[in-house]
Amino acid sequence: MTKVALVLGATGQDGAYLVRHLLRSGYVVHGTTRDAETSPRTNLRTLGVAEKVTLHSVAPNDFRSVMQTFAAVAPDEIYNLAGQSSVGLSFQQPTETLESIATATLNMLEAMRLTAQDARFYNACSSECFGELNGVAADENTAFRPLSPYATAKAAAYWLVENYRRAYGLYACSGILFNHESPLRPERFVTRKIVAAAVRIARGSGERLTLGDLSIRRDWGWAPDYVDAMHRMLQQPKPEDFVIATGEAHSLEAFVAAVFAALDLNWEHYVTTDPGLLRRAEIAHNVGNASRAAERMNWRAGAAMAEVVRRMVAAELDPTLVTA
């Protein structure tokens, strides 16, 4: 029988790539957005899958809305990628962040318990939950010490998944994903902000790029690789949580330098820093250890920072490459 998948948050970066991945894997795919009638579906259209997915209007923090959709779709697999996705914005909107992530996840788990107990549930967790790692690579046994409302909400959702798995025997798991990028990122994310500005500068815009702390170090991967890991998690014989990462940490300065070098430019001539862009509580260094994913799922990151930069710059220069 053909499997049915439901992707909550189908119009974002990860949602669009996951929809494409599932369609290529032979699934019937349903997706959700807050308003299916007015949603621009830009990412889905860019990937050529907008007409191949059935979109539903769902407010994840409204239990009735979630329950009705689960009952109507009767999914075999549920992927929770919905919720407020900006760490910086979470300091300005902590209540909305908590509701859209933690409360929404609780609604999904409870709706699954009541209407779809045989389904399998994937929850998008985040490396932000670990907080400051001081250069030590985090794995599935590393303690959570969240430093933002976003990370706190993601940690709460993680423990809700763990609770429903143990208390009700649901197939529910979390992917603890480190940073993963693509040309589908909006420019409010720093990686896309850097790439888009650098390309404009190379084309003669005359602007300067303003950034915050260039010393922070992150584990950057390629988003299509990471949605493949999400799918693999729900194919395992038993539900387990997995860290998904490249295992390499690079400074933001190194990322900036690589982007400008790809355009034959010296970044120091075009970049300034602004203390006003610093977050209230910033993680200086994070990196992940995805050895469990390699051992259990045969998953490994296909691209680390240098290749991610190359692909993002190429797609910014030639939009036809975005679908790669």
4-180+223-244 is classed in which CATH architecture? Answer: 3-Layer(aba) Sandwich (3.40)
pLDDT value for 191: 96
Close Cβ partners of 199 (under 8 Å, ≥ 6 residues apart): 263, 313, 316, 317
pLDDT tens for 40-73 read 899 999 999 999 999 999 999 999 999 999 999 9
Q: 3-state class of 119 per DSSP?
A: coil
Q: Is 87 exposed, middle or buried (0-12, 13-18, 19+ CB in 10 A)?
A: buried
Q: What pLDDT is attached to residue 241?
A: 98
Q: List the one residue out of 301, 297, 227, 162 whose CA is nearest residue 5.
A: 227
User: What residue spans in the chain does CATH classification 3.90.25.10 cover?
Assistant: 182-218+249-285+303-321
Q: Which residues are catalytic?
A: 126, 128, 150
pLDDT band at 262 (very low <50, low <70, confident <90, very high): very high
**Assessment of whether the complete model's pTM goes beyond 0.85:** yes
Written out in words, the top-level CATH class of the domain with range 182-218+249-285+303-321 is alpha beta
CB of 151 closer than 8 Å to CB of 128: yes
Across 146-150, 228-232, 281-285, 311-315, least confident range: 281-285
Residue count (the chain): 324
278: pLDDT confidence band, cut at 50, 70 and 90? low
Residue of 260, 255, 184, 183 whose CA lies nearest to 219:
255
Cα dihedral 14, 161, 156, 286 in deg (nearest 10): -50
CATH 3.40.50.720 residue ranges in the chain? Answer: 4-180+223-244
**Lowest mean pLDDT, pick from 164-173, 238-247, 266-275:** 266-275
So what's the pLDDT on residue 309?
Answer: 97
Q: What are the two backbone dihedrals, phi and then psi, of residue 47, each rounded to the nearest 5 degrees? A: -90, 0
Alpha helices in 205-290 (DSSP H): 223-233, 252-262
CB contact set of 301 (below 8 Å; sequence gap of 6+): 221, 222, 225, 244, 245, 246, 247, 290
